[in-house]
Every structure is written in C-alpha cells, then in structure tokens.
Amino acid sequence: MTEMKTTCSSMFTVAVHAGERAPKPEFTPVATPIYPSSSFFYADMEMLDGAFAGTHSGPMYTRYGNPTVSALETAVAALEGGEAALAYSSGMAAIHGALLGAGSRAGAAIVAAYDVYGATYALVSTLLKDLGVSAHFVDATDADATANTVKATRAAAVIVETLSNPLLKVADLPRLARAAHDGGAALLVDNTFATPYLCRPLDHGADYVIHSATKYLGGHGDVLGGVVVTSQERRQRLFEINKLVGGNLGPQEAWLVLRGIKTLPLRVQRQCENALVVARWLASHAAVCRDYFPGLASHPQYGLATRMLNRGLSGAMVSFELRDGTRERVFRFLEALKLIIPATTLGDVYSLVLYPAMSSHRALDPALRRSYGISDGLVRLSVGIEDPADIIADLEQALDA
Ligand SMILES: Cc1ncc(COP(=O)(O)O)c(C=O)c1O
C-alpha cells in the first residue's frame, strides 16, 4: 500500500490520505528531512517483522527509532569517536539513561563528583537513592580518593564532568578511567561544557559520553535534547531501557540539533577565543575577586587543562565571584546587563549569564552548596559568538552600575 487508491472519492477519505506516502523518490535530499511519523510500514510484512527483531535496520515505531533521530545519533557518535549513540529528550534523560544502563539498581553504588550539575546531583542523591542506589560524592580532582571510594563501595558507575558546572574544574580522565575500571566501575563523562571539539572522553578511557544537546550541540537556544555515546553493545542496553521508559528525542528536535552541529567547530572555536579575552579582562576588574577560567595560569588545574583540552582552547564558560558577594549585588549586576542575557542555559550563540545559587544549584542545601565552593557571589558566564569588545563593554557597565 503506497499512494491513495484513485477510486476513493469521499472528501473524508481524500482529506486523510491525499498526498501521503508517495513512492520512493529517485532523488536524495541534501539535508536529512524531518520524519514526523510515529510509525513506518513496509511493502513486505517479513521486513517489518525483521525490523522488530532487529535483523532489518529500518524504523517501525518512533519510540524504537526514527530516521532523523538516527542521523543525529550517527553524527554525535562520529564527533565523539564512538561506535554508537542514543538520543534522549533532554540532557537529564540522557544522564538517567546512562546511569541505568551502567547498572544503577537497588543495592548498587554510584560515585559522583560532588560538583556535578545540580540536577545530576539531585538525581543521584534523591531519586536513585530512594530506589536503593547508594550515592557517594567525591572530589573528582583527587583520583586516588575516587579510586578508594570506588573500591570501598564496589561502585557500578563513576560520573564526572569534563569541565564541571559551574566551577570549571578539569577532570583528569585517564586517571579517573583507571580509578573506575580498577574498581570494576564504568566511567560516565558529561562532556556538555567541553564538547567533542575540545575533548573526546572515549579517547581517554571513558565508557559513556553524555551531552545535554540543549547546549553547544544545538547552540541556538531553541531545542532541548540529550545524547549518550558508547559502544554498540552498551547502546543496545540503553535502547532496551529507553524502549520501556520512552525518554525519546522527537524528530523535529533531532533535526534542530543536527543542523546546529554543522557549525559546532566554528562556534566553539570563536566562543573559546572570546572567552579567553573576557576572562582576562574580568580577572583584572576591581569588582571581581575570583575568576575560574581554566585558560588562565592562575587556575589551579591550568596544566591539566592544557593536556585534556585540545587546540590550545579552554572552553567558553567563565565563572567569577563578585567581591561584594551578596545576592542583592549579583541581582543588581544581572539586571544592569543590556546585551548578555540572564537566562538559564549555556552554550548558545548568544552570551548568557546565570546565577548558580538561584538556578542550576538551587536544589542544593545552601550551606552544602557554599561548602562546595558555589558561593552566593558566584556568576557563570557562557560566552557567545558576538564581538568580544561588546561583551566586555556590557560587563563593564553592569559591574559599574
Ligand atoms: C553539565 C550539564 N549536564 C546536563 C544538563 C541537563 O541538560 P538538560 O537541561 O538538557 O536536561 C545540564 C543543564 O544545564 C548541564 O549543564
């Protein structure tokens, strides 16, 4: 069954079927089309049966797979140098999927860097904990302490961020991979901040690479998504889980991310160059008492950053502390900005600023948050592709306001 039978003349039938299911075209679209179809059929029922059985690679139902989503998965796996990828409806769905795939179940333990993104922290310390998974937080910059915790807890998984959110600590991935593997755990790396342009964690021994595609991969602030890159075998496990929980990325969203990826290297190169200029300027401003950019020699892991991050770049995120570190002072600064947008995201072409205490790390107990170094005066800047002189001018007028 392909095109509508010409014998149908009722407008009720014509309205539903006309124009649909045209025969296979002889042309190939240059850009992957959006396939907004929830299901697919074949001329031959054996092929459909094969698609269900996995012996035929075609799609049959979008929760199981969709051609636009598959194109994105192929692209992200290629960028990260991995065998396969699975796309999710958000970065958090991807983190959840990867943690489940890596063996999070009642009685299992997870080791996490204490300064992971706030929702990741909350996922591990509340939701998974309530399901019987024990959570153990470590200072992931201390690979020996991490190794000891992995062994002591017989952890199934270790989760870290290449560049942590928001303190921009750098993960020593080869050492963390050894720490995880020696204790029998898988290493999961959230590579959202670094992007594959700066670091490919699988090359350093990671088992799963996770992205909030909402950020640099998409890059334009118009889509929510997540991706996990891993081996073909692990991807199969993630797929089996996601078939049941249904945290799928939609084809429209997949297309937007795929489109964003085409300029990922161009954007990230420019954003990183801008960030270095902005970080240097901020470090010399009287209203700023601390600047966390890993590309500055003052960063405690400057040497490690030059080894872990490629192309002599250090990322495009700059966190800094205002000298008068009160919530009121930070709010005044944020409200005075004219170009930089105080919105809760990062990695877009626009420069964006966020107040971690109010948003990304709001779920953390304030005393615990402060003890982790995320103070009431900390601001996180995601540097965009604008002219750096304009970004600095905006920061200057807002800091002086
Ligand atoms: C490092 C990191 N990982 C994961 C996430 C979650 O991504 P999403 O908002 O797409 O679920 C975020 C969100 O800010 C993030 O910063």
Q: Check pLDDT > 60 for residue 2.
A: no
Query: Quick count: other Cβ atoms within 10 Å of Cβ 91?
Result: 25
What spacing in Å lies between the alpha carbon of 53 and ligand 1's midpoint?
A: 34
Per-residue pLDDT tens over the stretch 328-339: 999 999 999 999
Q: Check pLDDT > 70 for residue 6.
A: no
Is 63 annotated in the active site?
yes
Q: Which of 253, 268, 322, 314 has the alpha carbon at shortest distance from 291?
A: 322
Cα distance between the two ends of the chain: 68
Residues 359-374 have a mean pLDDT of: 88
Of 42, 61, 63, 139, the catalytic one is: 63
Per-residue pLDDT tens over the stretch 126-169: 999 999 999 999 999 999 999 999 999 999 999 999 999 899 99
pTM: 0.96
Give the distance from CA 59 to its chain's centroid: 26
What spacing in Å lies between the alpha carbon of 392 and ligand 1's midpoint?
A: 26
Q: Whose CA is nearest to atom 9 of ligand 1?
A: 91
Of 215, 234, 270, 369, the catalytic one is: 215
- Order of strands, edge to edge, in the sheet holding 134-138? 84-88, 226-230, 208-212, 186-190, 157-161, 109-113, 134-138
Sort 277 into a burial class: Cβ within 10 Å, 0-12 / 13-18 / 19+: middle
Per-residue pLDDT tens over the stretch 181-206: 999 999 999 999 999 999 999 999 99
Residues 216-234 have a mean pLDDT of: 98
What spacing in Å lies between the alpha carbon of 165 and ligand 1's midpoint?
A: 9
Report the pLDDT value the prediction gives residue 66, as an integer from 0 to 100: 97
Given the CA of residue 116, which atom of ligand 1 is nearest to it?
A: 1
Report the pLDDT value the prediction gives residue 363, as an integer from 0 to 100: 79
Is 327 annotated in the active site?
no
C-alpha 296/C-alpha 79 separation (Å) is: 27
Is 154 annotated in the active site?
no
Q: Which of 22, 5, 1, 23 has the alpha carbon at shortest distance from 14?
A: 5
Query: Quick count: other Cβ atoms within 10 Å of Cβ 361?
Result: 25
Is 117 annotated in the active site?
yes
Cα dihedral value 335, 339, 340, 342, nearest 10: 40
Q: What percent of the chain has pLDDT over 90?
A: 89
What spacing in Å lies between the alpha carbon of 167 and ligand 1's midpoint?
A: 15
Residues with CB under 6 A from ligand 1: 90-92, 117, 119, 161, 165, 190, 192-193, 212, 214, 224, 226, 360
pLDDT grade for 4, boundaries at 50, 70 and 90: low
Per-residue pLDDT tens over the stretch 90-105: 999 999 999 999 999 9
Given the CA of residue 213, which atom of ligand 1 is nearest to it?
A: 10
Q: Check pLDDT > 80 for residue 3.
A: no
With tokens 């995601």, the residue in question is 382
Give the distance from CA 313 to its chain's centroid: 19
What spacing in Å lies between the alpha carbon of 314 and ligand 1's midpoint?
A: 19
Q: Whose CA is nearest to atom 8 of ligand 1?
A: 91
Given the CA of residue 360, which atom of ligand 1 is nearest to it?
A: 14
